[in-house]
Structure 1
């Protein structure tokens, strides 16, 4: 995801209008739409003020506030992590950066095919998760430590064909899910992003075989016009893995 770096003022609509006009100059229609949406999005400004790399941090923060999936001392794997906002949240909530006195230190691994600028407290892996060697690299880095939370914010580049895009993100989510079955501790959690579509029910059915509780979540911080949704599995039943 691109990061939009600019000075902003919300004091008057005129100042916002001038800034939009300045940033739209010479841009394509699609780029203009993206810039206008970013400039008007309060979560983009909030992320800048609170030093998160992009607005998606608030989706995980909102989910964690409600369901308490991240705790100090946990081992977390964040798949499709770039630019690293979910990893930033995971590091803070698990105390992987050792900034919560008296609490156990967590361990966070973040993976993406794009380079991620270093995050204090996180181990970063640059590789394509769809390639055969990616899972081995993650397993080697974990060094036998069972994972408490598997996060996947992976998404393919959208083609604009909804059925095709849906099938592609489902394939990514299922790959993350199946990998999580190999590395997760008893009682672990999985949280994955999907786009709404025909295969969502099948994904829910598959997760239900291995998790005590499965539910769909649409955070308020998700854009209202977005089809993204998140599936949460809690209470991993390791004995059900053959």
Structure 2
């Protein structure tokens, strides 16, 4: 029997009774109405609200880490494009950034984004364009010149409404994030990034395979089935 993340039965009449319908309001596009209705009926959105996470994306990194185990206590993590902060929240708890797990090493979380992000316990967050000249040196300075164990990115370019253009834009972001990871990762480190399926990701895969021992493409359960997004998880950085 299929169940949602909050444990409710997703089959049969019970699910239809729970569905929230949104009326089209004057001035609101039909696409916006569909998005709002999907949000209101998304079990991961409801679970994020109940668990205190800043967005449903928190469960994506949670599920990826459950499978590949890269957010270990004591790990040094860089979160690129960290707004609104859901990935930072998950990472901070798992690497013991606040030191609340006695006997476990204390990790660090460094989050950066183009826009301001509300503070998150155990995380150091800065407003930064990571693609700007010297950004990798700035990041290293914030990390006291230490290398990172994990570089992760859930970034997406602003939608243009043209599928192929959006695909190329996010692949360009992923490639830039990967290049930064090559500069700041410690040997054996992990790179995690969102990509969109669309054909141009092949070159990114080839690039990562030259620098990491293993490269996997994953669509975690928290990623919507109708979305073209997937995640690349590259482990064992060669240094």
Give me the TM-score of the superposition, normalised by structure 2: 0.89
CA distance in 2, matches of 1:17, 1:120: 34
Task: Tell me the residue number matched to 2:112.
Answer: 111
Residue 97 of structure 1 and its aligned partner are, at CA, apart by: 1.4
The whole-number CA distance in structure 2 between the counterparts of 1:34 and 1:162 is 17
Distance 1:12 1:42 in 2: 11
The aligned counterpart of 1:157 is 158
Q: In the alignment, which residue of structure 2 is the partner of 1:80?
A: 81
How far apart, CA to CA, are the structure 1 residues paired with 2:211 and 2:229?
23
What is residue 44 of structure 1 aligned with on the other side?
A: 45
Higher mean Cα deviation, 203-212 or 132-141? 132-141
**For 2:19 and 2:197, how far apart are their aligned partners in 1?**
33
The equivalent of 1:170 in structure 2 is 171
SS in 2 for 1:132: coil
How far apart are the structure 2 equivalents of 1:64 and 1:112? Answer: 22
What residue number does 2:212 align with? 211
Secondary structure, counterpart of 1:158 in structure 2: coil
Deviation for aligned residue 1:133: 4.8
Q: CA deviation at 1:181?
A: 0.8
1:214 CA displacement = 0.6
Q: Distance in 2 between matches of 1:227 and 1:12?
A: 25
Cα pair 2:187 2:236 within 8 Å, conserved: yes
Task: Name the residue aligned to 1:68.
Answer: 69
- SS of the residue aligned with 2:191? strand
Question: What stretches of structure 1 of length at least 5 have no aligned partner?
Answer: 1-9
By percentage of residues, which structure has more helix? Answer: 1
Aligned CA RMSD, in angstroms, stands at 1.8
Moved more, 26-35 or 181-190: 26-35
Separation in 2, partners of 1:29, 1:233: 39
TM-score, with normalisation over the residues of structure 1? 0.88
1:128-148, Cα deviation, whole Å (9 max, x unpaired): 223225333312101111100
Q: What does 1:119-130 align with in structure 2 at a 5 Å threshold? A: 119-130=120-131
Return the alpha-carbon distance in structure 2 between the equivalents of residues 134 and 34 of structure 1.
35
In structure 2, distance between residues paired with 1:28 and 1:197: 27
CA distance in structure 2 between the aligned counterparts of 1:134 and 1:158, rounded to whole angstroms? 25
1:1-242 equivalences under 5 Å are 16-17=19-20, 20-21=22-23, 25-26=25-26, 27-238=28-239
In 2, Cα distance between equivalents of 1:133 and 1:120: 27
| Residues 38-95 of structure 1 deviation map (CA, whole Å, 9 limit, x = unaligned) | 0110000000000010000111111111111110000000001100000111101100
Which segment drifts farther, 132-141 or 117-126?
Answer: 132-141
For 2:18 and 2:70, the matched residues in 1 are separated by 40
Say if 1:17 and 1:172 are closer, same or farther in 2 by CA, change over 3 A: closer
